[in-house]
A and B are shown apart, each in its own frame.
Chain A
Amino acid sequence: KAGVTQTPRYLIKTRGQQVTLSCSPISGHRSVSWYQQTPGQGLQFLFEYFSETQRNKGNFPGRFSGRQFSNSRSEMNVSTLELGDSALYLCASSPGTGGYSPLHFGNGTRLTVT
């Protein structure tokens, strides 16, 4: 079974630009979660989608948004990029929602904002 696929692997953007990251979950998984990973802060939860609906949201500004398509693929968008948005963005899928459903992570998209 193919794992979670994230594209692109690396991105370099300029302050003020916007960016869209893509995630394809494991086949059959309906939940997709997004995390931001930075040194010093670790993994911070962004949001979770299940069956095209946002189920949970972390404490991030409205510049961070996401969506999920009918095939469970998900995209995450960050508008008006700031230097502090430089991070590894990880997508994880799971069969169901809820904290006890284990997460299967992709290898992430490394975003650098200059």
Chain B
Amino acid sequence: QKEVEQDPGPLSVPEGAIVSLNCTYSNSAFQYFMWYRQYSRKGPELLMYTYSSGNKEDGRFTAQVDKSSKYISLFIRDSQPSDSATYLCAMPPTTSGSRLTFGEGTQLTVNP
């Protein structure tokens, strides 16, 4: 079983829709959660991060963490065609010897 599971999609929505992207994780020691966005033919870029349970909002984006369920979500409100990308969740290591652990990524297309 992978430490971080993410449905690869693809997910296709109409412009203006609310998008929900999700990851589950198995290691309860994870305390810090990140979302990266990767456009086609580009490297991932950090979108948001959050330390604790609850919600964190940044413009149209909201990151939500439910540690009791080991479940994190990224919501996109009023989705735009420019949001079309692959979204990856990531978590830092809990022991030395590694770096970020990424989910497989969910490919999102927002149709005009």
Residues of A within 8 A of B (CB): 4, 33, 35, 39-43, 45, 48, 56-58, 90, 92, 98-100, 102-108
Can you list 8 A-B contacts (CB < 8 A)? A39-B8, A42-B102, A42-B103, A43-B44, A57-B97, A58-B99, A100-B32, A102-B46
Chain B residues with CB below 8 A from A108, complex form: 43
- Give A41 to B105 CA distance when docked, in angstroms: 10
Flag whether B49 is at the interface (Cβ < 8 A). Answer: yes
Flag whether B88 is at the interface (Cβ < 8 A). Answer: yes
Chain A residues with CB below 8 A from B92, complex form: 98-100
Complex contact A107–B102 (CB within 8 A): no
- Give A57 to B96 CA distance when docked, in angstroms: 10
Count CB-based A-B contacts (< 8 Å): 59
Q: B43 is contacted by which of A41, A42, A48, A90 (Cβ under 8 Å)?
A: A90
Q: A103 is contacted by which of B46, B98, B104 (Cβ under 8 Å)?
A: B46
> Closest chain A residue to B42 by CB distance?
A107
